[in-house]
Amino acid sequence: MKRIPILLIVLFIFACKENKIEVSTTKETPKKNSLIFPEETHFKSLRQVTFGGDNAEAYWSFDDRQLIFQSNNKKWGLACDQMFLMNADETFNGNIPPMVSTGMGRTTCAYFLPDNKSFVYGSTHLADKACPEVPLRKNGRYVWPVYDSFDIFVADLEGNITGQLTDSPGYDAEATVSPKGDKIVFTSTRSGDLELYTMNLDGSDVQQITDELGYDGGAFFSPDGTKLIFRSSRPKTEEEVSKYKGLLAEGLVEPTNMELYICNADGSGMKQLTNLGNANWSPFFTPDGKKILFSSNYEAEKGFPFNLYMINVDGKNLERITHGETFDAFPVFSNDGKHLIFSSNRNNGGGRDTNLFIAEWQDEF
């Protein structure tokens, strides 16, 4: 994917959900920081980083000093998502961070490499310098495009491409790097379906991880590099299978029903982690590897809000973390466990902008 241009998510209403599961919430505590809702007791402080456009997929460098993220902010002269670099203490309200992608095509999912001097990301620029079209609906249903022109590249922090890691026909994107610094996990259609693969940092030793029909994507390694967490829209019924295959043949997926899966880094020990209904996605391990933070609209009757939830790696003790009325997603912990960056519609004046926020995490891991 793309772990998704945010605007595509916030514009559309998902299917209703009838069944409910009780979720534990913490006692309301007044907060001095106006960006923090009273129930958000895991946040000691919260700082807004961007102010306009759709900003998402922000990932920390291995030393936690910098972040790389994607934005389509029109005020920055962008027609579609490009990659930007920032220091961890910066904000961008009127100023523009340095672009570290080519400015051509559409980009997605940038992730630092262990040297903190380079990163991997997906881009369509080899196929076309222009931004590809973004289909939003198919037969009245919300869809995500899966461009077969995406490949995965390595670049330095000045934006110079120093290598190309994939060149197989079809979609290759959604690359993230193991905290151990030895492997990359990514999503590809090289088998004819959207499956997870791993490879070495130089693109060698490609191994297929998943092999069941359905969109497997948005994967991240556990802190010790031994496990993977990801989202999947695996179809079950004959109708679901037919719809999935038909859309994929057109380079599309329908992401309105996704659950989280966890497995060993080699694909063994596969287990479905959530069974909540609606869309459960953008998962990320807590720094101690014991829990998963993710975004979900499973409690929503008409698709919104999306909030952040936390669950044990055994699927127990589901807890709601954020309490907005619109959209919170893409949570990513700093490597030291002290901060969390995520995307949110909060404090946008009632508009559609999705901005980055950095929370100081209250608890120790």
Q: In this prediction, what percent of the chain has a pLDDT beyond 90?
A: 83
Which of 240, 121, 272 lies closest to 184, judged by CA? 121
219 vs 364, which has greater pLDDT?
Answer: 219
The pTM of this model reads 0.91
Planar angle of CA 277, 282, 284, nearest 5 degrees: 115
Q: Does residue 7 have a pLDDT over 60?
A: no
Which residues is 264 bridged to in the sheet?
227
- Give the span between the Cα atoms of 106 and 145, in whole angstroms: 12
Average pLDDT over residues 270-291: 97
Beta-bridge mates of residue 271: 262
Q: What's the mean pLDDT in 5-12? A: 42
DSSP states of 42-74: TEEEEEE-B-SSBEEEEEE-TTSSEEEEEE--G
pLDDT tens for 96-153 read 999 999 999 999 999 999 999 999 999 999 999 999 988 766 666 778 899 999 999 9
17 pLDDT more than 50: no
Burial (CB < 10 A; 0-12, 13-18, 19+), residue 242, is exposed
The C-alpha atoms of residue 116 and residue 177 are separated, in whole angstroms, by 12
* Lowest model confidence (mean pLDDT) among 181-185, 242-246, 259-263, 347-351: 347-351
Residue 5 has pLDDT above 90, yes or no: no
**Per-residue pLDDT tens digits for 221-259:** 999 999 999 999 999 999 999 999 999 999 999 988 999
Ranges of H-type helices in the chain: 6-10, 238-249
| Per-residue pLDDT at 80 exceeds 90 | yes
- In whole angstroms, what is the distance from residue 121 CA to residue 212 CA? 25
The predicted pLDDT at position 139 comes to 63
CATH class of the domain at 6-361: mainly beta
> Which residue would you say has higher pLDDT here, 46 or 303?
46
Average pLDDT over residues 182-203: 98
Residue-level pLDDT at 140? 63
Domain segments of the chain: what residues?
Answer: 6-361
Percent of the chain topping pLDDT 70: 90
Across the range 73-86, mean pLDDT stands at 96
Instruction: With beta carbons less than 8 A apart as the criterion, state whether 60 and 341 touch.
Output: yes
Residue range 36-61: mean pLDDT, rounded = 96
What is the pLDDT, as a whole number, of residue 22?
39
